[in-house]
Structure 1
Protein backbone atom coordinates (compact mmCIF):
# COMPACT_ATOMS: atom_id res chain seq x y z
CA UNK A 1 0.00 0.00 0.00
CA UNK A 2 2.88 2.37 0.77
CA UNK A 3 4.45 1.83 -2.62
CA UNK A 4 1.13 2.39 -4.38
CA UNK A 5 0.48 5.60 -2.44
CA UNK A 6 4.02 6.85 -3.12
CA UNK A 7 3.65 6.17 -6.85
CA UNK A 8 0.36 8.11 -6.93
CA UNK A 9 2.07 11.01 -5.16
CA UNK A 10 4.99 10.94 -7.62
CA UNK A 11 2.58 11.08 -10.57
CA UNK A 12 0.20 13.71 -9.22
CA UNK A 13 2.18 15.76 -6.68
CA UNK A 14 -0.95 15.77 -4.52
CA UNK A 15 -0.29 17.05 -0.99
CA UNK A 16 -3.22 14.97 0.32
CA UNK A 17 -1.67 11.81 -1.13
CA UNK A 18 1.69 12.67 0.45
CA UNK A 19 0.03 13.19 3.84
CA UNK A 20 -1.76 9.85 3.47
CA UNK A 21 1.59 8.24 2.61
CA UNK A 22 3.20 9.69 5.76
CA UNK A 23 0.33 8.44 7.94
CA UNK A 24 0.59 4.95 6.46
CA UNK A 25 4.36 5.03 6.94
CA UNK A 26 3.91 5.85 10.65
CA UNK A 27 1.48 2.96 11.09
CA UNK A 28 3.76 0.47 9.31
CA UNK A 29 7.40 1.56 9.70
CA UNK A 30 8.62 -1.91 8.68
CA UNK A 31 7.41 -1.20 5.12
CA UNK A 32 9.28 2.06 4.59
CA UNK A 33 10.35 2.87 1.09
CA UNK A 34 13.92 3.93 0.37
CA UNK A 35 14.30 5.28 -3.12
CA UNK A 36 12.45 2.74 -5.25
CA UNK A 37 12.99 -0.25 -2.94
CA UNK A 38 11.43 -1.41 0.29
CA UNK A 39 13.80 -2.10 3.15
CA UNK A 40 13.74 -5.79 3.99
CA UNK A 41 15.99 -7.19 6.69
CA UNK A 42 16.46 -10.95 6.75
CA UNK A 43 18.79 -10.95 9.74
CA UNK A 44 19.52 -8.66 12.68
CA UNK A 45 22.00 -5.88 12.05
CA UNK A 46 24.86 -6.02 14.54
Structure 2
Protein backbone atom coordinates (compact mmCIF):
# COMPACT_ATOMS: atom_id res chain seq x y z
CA UNK A 1 0.00 0.00 0.00
CA UNK A 2 1.48 3.35 -1.00
CA UNK A 3 1.11 6.21 1.46
CA UNK A 4 1.90 9.78 0.49
CA UNK A 5 3.46 12.01 3.16
CA UNK A 6 6.67 13.93 3.82
CA UNK A 7 9.63 12.27 5.54
CA UNK A 8 9.36 12.53 9.32
CA UNK A 9 5.73 13.64 9.19
CA UNK A 10 4.32 10.29 10.39
CA UNK A 11 5.45 7.14 12.16
CA UNK A 12 4.32 3.62 11.34
CA UNK A 13 3.80 1.20 14.24
CA UNK A 14 2.80 -2.43 14.57
CA UNK A 15 1.95 -4.65 17.53
CA UNK A 16 1.44 -8.35 16.77
CA UNK A 17 -0.46 -9.08 20.00
CA UNK A 18 0.88 -12.55 20.82
CA UNK A 19 3.62 -12.78 23.45
CA UNK A 20 6.84 -14.72 22.84
CA UNK A 21 8.60 -16.92 25.38
CA UNK A 22 12.12 -15.72 26.19
CA UNK A 23 14.36 -18.21 28.04
CA UNK A 24 17.23 -16.96 30.20
CA UNK A 25 20.21 -19.08 29.16
CA UNK A 26 21.79 -18.85 32.62
CA UNK A 27 18.85 -19.58 34.91
CA UNK A 28 16.41 -21.30 32.55
CA UNK A 29 13.70 -18.85 33.63
CA UNK A 30 10.97 -18.37 31.05
CA UNK A 31 9.50 -14.90 30.60
CA UNK A 32 7.03 -13.57 28.09
CA UNK A 33 7.87 -10.59 25.91
CA UNK A 34 5.59 -8.55 23.69
CA UNK A 35 7.00 -7.07 20.51
CA UNK A 36 6.35 -3.50 19.41
CA UNK A 37 7.85 -2.06 16.21
CA UNK A 38 7.91 1.59 15.18
CA UNK A 39 9.69 3.24 12.25
CA UNK A 40 9.63 6.76 10.81
CA UNK A 41 7.38 7.12 7.78
CA UNK A 42 9.17 7.35 4.42
CA UNK A 43 12.32 5.79 5.95
CA UNK A 44 12.37 2.76 3.59
CA UNK A 45 12.97 0.43 6.57
CA UNK A 46 11.16 -2.89 6.34
Q: Which has the higher strand share?
A: 2
Work out which structure has the larger RCO, using CA pairs closer than 8 Å and 6 or more positions apart in sequence.
2
> Which of the two has higher C-alpha Rg?
2
Q: Same fold (TM over 0.5)?
A: no
TM-score (norm 1): 0.18
TM-score (norm 2): 0.18
Q: Which has the higher helix share?
A: 1
